[in-house]
Amino acid sequence: MKEGRSAEQGKPGGKAAAGSLPEGRKQELLQKVWKLEYWLEGMEEENTLALLRELQRDLQAIRSMHDLFALEVYCTISSKLIGWIKRLGLQEEIALRVGTMNLYNVSFHENWQDAFGYLRNVAENIFSLKKENAEKQTEDVVNQVKKYIVENLGGDTSLYNLADQVHFSQEYLLRIFKKKEGVTILQYINDLKLSAAKQLLSEAELPVKEIAEQLGFTSQGYFGRFFRNKTGLTPNAYREGQRR
């Protein structure tokens, strides 16, 4: 027996072996880690968090914070999370919410259960911030589209042109606009045109033909059909009614 090594530590059931995992079990856990990397790469929130909970439960039996296998698993997951934090530009947000030093130094944790619980917490915040940023981007894009429509109500407000203004696909723009505003882009445009038409007919002395042109209608007849369909009145009848 080497000097400094107690008889208890040399026994299979001694402190050196306490909480260690058999090789077969380690291979099973490594399979989970590889699967976790796959879920993370695809930003699969539910699967990623579920697998992190499993690993936290599986590794809590290891009592030594010097266990190389647990350390290897921790560092592998930690490096993947760091990569996503950098990729999404969340360094400051994550640092403020949960801190990042613990990602680099496992000695900050009291045990492996706490360590892997911390990794799960970091992952939860990554997904949460990613959603918040996506919602903010959606709101900014929709507001940009609305501003363009208002400023160009009589111009080209086609879906093709609106999508081109914000560099999004037409299908995606339709979806996020309806989700944010509760109406389609066409409904939004038509409501604005109807409101503007009523105001011009009530307050201005412009001929109906000029009002139609200002609002981007291809002809006075088309404008008349649009207005009557929305109000039940022709533009001239609406104007007379407002005057009376």
Same domain, 165 and 235: yes
| Alpha-carbon distances of 114 from 53, 62, 107, rounded to whole Å | 11, 12, 11
Q: What is the CATH number of the domain that holds 206?
A: 1.10.10.60
On whether both 198 and 228 belong to a single domain, the answer is yes
Q: Are residues 167 and 210 in the same domain?
A: yes
Q: In this model, does residue 122 exceed pLDDT 80?
A: yes
Residue 212 lies in a domain: yes
Answer whether residue 6 shows pLDDT above 60: no
* Banded pLDDT at 134 (limits 50, 70, 90): confident
122 assigned to some structural domain = yes
| Structural domain count, the chain | 2
pTM of the model: 0.64
What's the pLDDT at 240?
87
Across 7-11, 62-66, 193-197, least confident range: 7-11
Range of the domain at 100: 20-132
Q: Is residue 104 part of a domain?
A: yes
Q: Tell me what the mean pLDDT of segment 46-66 comes to.
A: 92
Q: Cα(127)–Cα(134) distance, rounded to whole angstroms?
A: 11
> Same domain for 31 and 120?
yes
Considering the domain architecture, whether residues 183 and 240 belong to the same structural domain is answered as: yes
Q: Residue 5 falls within a domain, yes or no?
A: no
On the CB side of 190, how many CA atoms lie within 13 Å of its CA? 13
The first and second tokens of residue 146, run together, are 């609305």
Tokens for 10, please give them. 């040399």
Q: CA-based Rg of the chain, rounded to a whole angstrom?
A: 32
Question: What does the angle CA 145 – CA 149 – CA 151 come to, to the nearest 5 degrees?
Answer: 115
